[in-house]
Amino acid sequence: MGEANYKAAVIGLGSMGWGAAVSLLNAGIETVGVDVRQDVLDKFKALGGTSTTSPAEAATGCDAVMVFVVNAEQTATVLYGENGAVGAAPRGCVFLTCATTPPEFAEQIANRLSESGMQVIDAPVSGGATKALDGDMTIMASGASTAFDKAKPATDAIANKVYRLGDAPGAGSRVKMINQLLAGVHIAATAEAMTLGIKAGVDPQTLYDVICASAGQSWMFGNRGPHIIEGDYDPKSAVDIFVKDLGIVSAEGNRQDFPLPLTETALQQFKAAQDEGLGREDDAAVAKVYAKRGNIKLPGQD
């Protein structure tokens, strides 16, 4: 059974937000899902949740509001734009800002939320769609202890690991930024390795199996390799996301006057995929850039 009389909202029912919302329902927590896509809202309602297109409607009477939109601009809009959640949420409601955004933005939006009488946790997440659906996400979180206490029923439902990285908002987003540096570089490296193997005449499934049992293995290779082998580019996390996220890393490197040659190289590969019209495909579609340049056919390509 869920926490008695506890109510949560999830704004943005993409792969991670959807998993969070379903996990909250599975924990017995009254949950409102917010999205612009009616088919997704209908699907969530069929599972027993409440659905709406209005962040304000969702936040009414909530104990916790989780924001799983794509970027900083969307975060500001759903919080403070027309029908924004903050204006309708009860004073003391805890907002968890879960999108990957620049650390400076995370600090600014947290300060604004505090000034509005809300509690806030800078709470970017990781783990992928499958772990999100299993309530097994990792949260890289920073905020006041009272906010963590208020959010605990919700975070217990959606995450296996909640790393408390300090009281000051922005710390969570800085750690997530480093995670995305590694994730983006590893996806690009996976694409490079798989396509070079195919070019060299290695069977892709065999290559995958051997690498997964060898020192070259990474989480991203293990997860994204099958997308390339199966020719499945239905987006779990899109190319556009890593153009955005590695762009955040690159901008921070410039701000800190710190060289990031691997980040910049990977970012250029994702931008090339975006330029090829692949932005909405799965991020493993960066392999198509290598395949085109190497004059090879990937599995599933005509």
Choose the catalytic residue: 176, 244, 271, 288: 176
pLDDT for 81-137, tens place per residue?
999 999 999 999 999 999 999 999 999 999 999 999 999 999 999 998 889 999 999
What is the three-class DSSP state of 279? coil
What pLDDT does residue 3 have? 63
> Which CATH code, of 3.90.1150.10, 3.40.50.300, 1.10.1040.10, 1.10.10.10, is assigned to 174-294?
1.10.1040.10
Q: Where residue 1 falls among pLDDT bands split at 50, 70, 90?
A: very low
Beta strand residue intervals within the chain, DSSP E: 7-11, 30-34, 50-52, 64-67, 94-97, 119-122, 125-126, 137-143, 159-164
Fold for the domain defined by 7-168: Rossmann fold (3.40.50)
Q: What is the residue extent of each domain of the chain?
A: 7-168, 174-294
CA distance 261 to 258: 10
For the question of residue 176 being annotated catalytic, the response is yes
